[in-house]
Amino acid sequence: MRLAHNPNALETLRSPSDDAPWRVLVSGCLWGQPCGVDASDYGMSAHQPPWLHHRRVEIVPFCPEDFGMGTPRGMPDLHGGDGFDVLDGRAKVLDEHGNDLTQAMLRGARAMADTALEHKVDFALLTDRSGACGTQVISLGCRFVEPVQYRRGVGVAAAMLLRCGVAVVSQRDFHTLSVLGSKVDEAFEVDAEALDHHQTAWVKQNLP
């Protein structure tokens, strides 16, 4: 399930402790790994919620695109549907040159799900807008074609995780991340004014 869309699910998460920390699967770029298409982390490591570094959290970083396609690589974008459509053979993943990366993306998505199950992660924190890891917003077609088109939906790896029963959350789901932080350490206060990505004005106005 997507935690930001199921706030009651936050109550079902086990409480992390010093002896039994949360095991959190994190998109590689978000953890600072140089696994982006340009062999950078896109600057994503600057946007980590601080509680990821708490002693009650154990990080399992993974980049499905790097696993399936290597780094650097072309920009893998969804054509014809979302991640679930790719899993079911109704949509494809193409790079900016039209190369079909569908099978490579599926290979990386399966490996990410296998890693999540092997480590028995409590949930996954993923990079939104990614064709692999998006959990709230994904692109429609190539991101190098202006104007870039977006839709609500999930990427291929996120869809695979969800089908395997792994809960996911976006790095832009600020309210949910705030609640998660308060569960890690009572010193973290929940930001009552924070919004999850689907609650923001941009998403509501542009992606009805």
Instruction: Note the pLDDT of residue 28.
Output: 98
Using the predicted structure, report yes or no on whether residue 111 has a pLDDT greater than 90.
yes
Please give the average per-residue pLDDT across 53-67, as a whole number. 98
Using the predicted structure, report yes or no on whether residue 45 has a pLDDT greater than 90.
no
Beta strands in 28-163 (DSSP E): 57-62, 77-79, 92-94, 123-126, 137-139, 150-152
Reported residue count of the chain is 208
Each residue's pLDDT tens digit, 124-154: 999 999 999 999 999 999 999 999 999 999 9
Instruction: Note the pLDDT of residue 203.
Output: 96
Each residue's pLDDT tens digit, 158-187: 999 999 999 999 999 999 999 999 999 989
What three-state secondary structure class fits 86?
helix
Instruction: State what percent of residues in the chain have pLDDT above 90.
Output: 93
Mean of all residue pLDDT scores within the chain = 96
Report DSSP state, residue 37: T
Where does the pLDDT of residue 46 fall: very low under 50, low under 70, confident under 90, or very high at 90 and above? confident
In 3D space, the residue among 62, 1, 13, 6 whose CA is nearest the CA of residue 180 turns out to be: 13
Using the predicted structure, report yes or no on whether residue 47 has a pLDDT greater than 90.
no
What's the rounded Cα separation, in Å, for the pair 83 and 134?
9
In 3D space, the residue among 1, 80, 65 whose CA is nearest the CA of residue 29 turns out to be: 65
Instruction: Note the pLDDT of residue 54.
Output: 97
Using the predicted structure, report yes or no on whether residue 7 has a pLDDT greater than 90.
no
The sign of the torsion formed by the CA atoms of 85, 86, 88, 91 equals positive
What's the rounded Cα separation, in Å, for the pair 204 and 183?
29
Q: Token digits for 26? A: 């994190």
Q: How far is the CA of 169 from the CAs of 2, 65, 69, in angstroms?
A: 6, 18, 24
State pTM to two decimals.
0.95
Using the predicted structure, report yes or no on whether residue 156 has a pLDDT greater than 90.
yes
